[in-house]
Amino acid sequence: MLSAAIPVSSPPTTTAGKIMLVGLGPGSQAHLTARARAAIAEADTVIGYVTYIRLVAELLEGKEIIRKSMTEELDRAIEALERARRGRKVALISSGDAGVYGMAGPTFEVLFQAGWTPDAEIEVEIVPGASALNTCAALVGAPLTHDFCAISLSDLLTPWPTIARRLDAVAYADFVVALYNPKSGRRAQQIVEAQRLFLRHRRADTPVAIVKSAYRPKQRIEFTTLERMAEADIGMLSTVLIGNSNTFVRDGLMVTPRGYANKYEVAAGERTTLGGEQAGRSLSTGLAGWLETIRASGRSAAELAAEYRLPEDYLAAVLTPSPSSSASG
């Protein structure tokens, strides 16, 4: 649990307070949701990192404003709790989504340590917003159409070996990856190490898109490759999108195919189903078909593990199905 000193009591109030964890989206007024705008209007107090406060400055007239620095997340949450205990409605703002590397997690940690429960007088509402992952992807095309994940390169709170294991695992598993907090003045080597780990598993020409200050006045988009990624202009306001083995860039758009080519062919405006496949059913190489194939192959778990890059003990288990197991498309 947290080690910060969190007050457990405040002067009583006759009005129940409220904490609204507001995601601002990318920062432009056009992409602020109606509920986020209404939550800020409803609030008596607005708390946030100084940059986030500037993003919504025109909505803050007449409100108590509490500005905090980048590393003062727990202080923001403690301030929100204290104001809510006094009966105030607090908007605790984050860029992107409050639950994606935002203030929702730290706030709940502070609340739980202070004895708060969901049925307490202080109401807590999470107001979702588009994360950098979504907004940056929208600017470069459709890189997230297939499986993807997000990893923060910030080692301020997470040990580097943990980050490195995650990078290596997702690179090996062929996820499209969004890197948050990729580089700062004090953390310049992390992006280089991320590149090193990815190059163990991905081609050097794997597409990479770098979006800085998405939907803000200083927005900048750069396309590069995994081999050249670390040379690009990357900072704390950047999000780095690394494609998978099928991602391509065409006409200035980064696209990750969903996999329709594994089942369908489109020619002359007509869609046809490939031989051996059925529309609306799992692929012939889906779970049921794959299990049937490897069980009929007569090959050992070790041989199959080398071919499919899967754990040998897993393959040993699936080669001998239990009477109750089944797989259907």
Mean pLDDT for back-to-back runs of 10 residues, the chain (329 residues): 50 74 93 96 95 93 90 91 96 95 95 94 96 96 97 95 98 97 92 98 98 94 97 94 98 94 83 88 92 95 96 95 58
CA–CA separation, 262 vs 147, rounded Å?
16
CA–CA separation, 243 vs 249, rounded Å?
10
Per-residue confidence (pLDDT) for residue 329, from 0 to 100: 47
- Candidates 138, 182, 147; CA nearest to 25 is 138
- CA distances 322 to 45, 317, 319, Å, are 59, 9, 10
CA–CA separation, 325 vs 329, rounded Å?
14
Residues 6 or more apart whose CB falls under 8 angstroms from that of 48 comprise: 66, 67, 68, 76, 92, 93, 94
Q: At what angle do helices 160-172 and 190-198 cross, to 10 degrees?
A: 30
Residues 6 or more apart whose CB falls under 8 angstroms from that of 133 comprise: 100, 144, 148, 150, 178, 180, 239
Check if the beta carbon of residue 148 is closer than 8 Å to that of residue 175: yes
Q: What is the pTM of this model?
A: 0.88
Per-residue confidence (pLDDT) for residue 27, from 0 to 100: 84
Per-residue confidence (pLDDT) for residue 323, from 0 to 100: 65
CA–CA separation, 49 vs 47, rounded Å?
7
Check if the beta carbon of residue 110 is closer than 8 Å to that of residue 2: yes
The residue ranges of DSSP E strands in 70-169, in sequence order, are 89-94, 123-127, 141-142, 148-152
The residue ranges of DSSP E strands in 107-235, in sequence order, are 123-127, 141-142, 148-152, 176-180, 207-212, 220-225
Pairing of strands 18-23, 123-127: parallel
Q: Which tokens go with 254?
A: 């980064």
Q: Which tokens go with 51?
A: 């940059």
Per-residue confidence (pLDDT) for residue 250, from 0 to 100: 97
Check if the beta carbon of residue 193 is closer than 8 Å to that of residue 164: yes
